[in-house]
Amino acid sequence: MATVGLYLGSYRLLKQVGAGRGTQVWEAMNDARNQRSAVKMVLPSHASNAALLRQMKHEFAVGQNLEHPQVIRMYDFDPDAKFAFLGMEFFGPLDLKQTIQQGGDRLVPLIPKMIIQAAEGLAYFHKQGWIHRDIKPHNFLANDQGELKLIDFALAERRKGFLGRLLHRQSTVQGTRSYMPPEQIRRQALDERSDIYSYGCMVHELVAGKTPFTGSTETELLNKHLRSPPPPLEAANRNVTLEFSQIVRQMLAKDPNDRPNSMNDVLHWLKNNKIFRAPPRAKPPAPVADPTE
């Protein structure tokens, strides 16, 4: 079992900061570089899980050449160590959802900055030819200054051309149900506009305190993504401008052709228009835990 002080390559483990299915995330020090880092390692009990190792290898392949202030940096991947691991940039232990939940009123004024930084990271990711396929608050790390970094590239795939989209076949639905676009539910080919839908769900949650669609069962939730119109954002938060409510509603269109064409278009809108009527001060409603996520 991994313990404080254990070396994985040149990474010295300092403190466990997270855990996933078969993995742990540690704050670490890369002694060779004298650099504070993060290590995502496979637990010994899952060392023979070939699918998990492929997923980690894929995540490194996606992230190793990405370099943007709002995207986490990947440094190393070692599949042959006693603990297979990824070495990456350290950016605090909390994701965006946890940061908002724990930060209270003092973070509310930073929500516009968070919305824009998430858009910047995702726009860059798309520019490099990737679709994330699992955009949600859990997949952005955040700090108390409202700075964000996009993480978790395990489901990312290369953007397909027209023929690739036409011949697309997906056997299983992958992603997170509360943020899933209709075409992903239908196992159709995805493009940047699919991430825009998920981003719209996340933005709605940040501003309204809950995702646009909830359900008591997974089937009910997915059916709402497929058929129900999104609730008006201004009804949940009267401080948002009608124009911002409309752009979020456009992001949540059922048909990808009715959404913004690109995250660059979304980012341009955000940087040239007002999100709130007045600087936000009151804390939005606490996000509702959804067991169907």
Read off the amino acid at residue 61.
A
229 and 187: one domain? yes
Is there a contact between 175 and 133 (Cβ–Cβ < 8 Å)? yes
Residue of 78, 95, 134, 195 marked catalytic: 134
Rounded Cα distance between 104 and 19, Å, is 24
pLDDT-derived band at 177, boundaries 50, 70, 90: very high
Q: Which pLDDT score is estimated for 157?
A: 96
78 and 100: one domain? no
- CB half-sphere exposure, 226, CA atoms < 13 A: 13
CATH number of the domain within which 71 lies: 3.30.200.20
Rounded average pLDDT over 5-12: 94
CATH number of the domain within which 263 lies: 1.10.510.10
Rounded average pLDDT over 258-287: 87
Rounded average pLDDT over 149-153: 97
Judged against a pLDDT cut of 70, whether residue 290 lies above it is answered with no
Judged against a pLDDT cut of 70, whether residue 185 lies above it is answered with yes
- DSSP assigned state of 158: E
pLDDT-derived band at 144, boundaries 50, 70, 90: confident
CA distances 287 to 104, 214, 240, Å, are 12, 11, 17
Is residue 293 in a domain? Answer: no
User: What's the structural domain count of the chain?
Assistant: 2
Rounded Cα distance between 35 and 31, Å, is 7
Average pLDDT, the chain: 91
Q: Which pLDDT score is estimated for 80?
A: 82
Judged against a pLDDT cut of 70, whether residue 146 lies above it is answered with yes
**pTM summary value:** 0.91
Is residue 287 in a domain? Answer: no
Radius of gyration of the chain (CA): 19
pLDDT-derived band at 105, boundaries 50, 70, 90: confident
51 and 163: one domain? no
pLDDT-derived band at 273, boundaries 50, 70, 90: very high
- CB half-sphere exposure, 108, CA atoms < 13 A: 18
45 and 122: one domain? no
Structure confidence by residue, pLDDT tens digits, 55-92: 999 999 999 999 999 999 999 999 987 889 999 999 98
Structure confidence by residue, pLDDT tens digits, 211-234: 999 999 999 999 999 999 999 999
Domain that holds residue 245: 96-272
Q: Is 290 a catalytic residue?
A: no
Judged against a pLDDT cut of 50, whether residue 163 lies above it is answered with no
Is there a contact between 293 and 129 (Cβ–Cβ < 8 Å)? no
63 and 148: one domain? no
Rounded Cα distance between 181 and 200, Å, is 10
Beta bridge partners of residue 11, listed in sequence order: 8, 30
Read off the amino acid at residue 25.
V
Judged against a pLDDT cut of 60, whether residue 194 lies above it is answered with yes
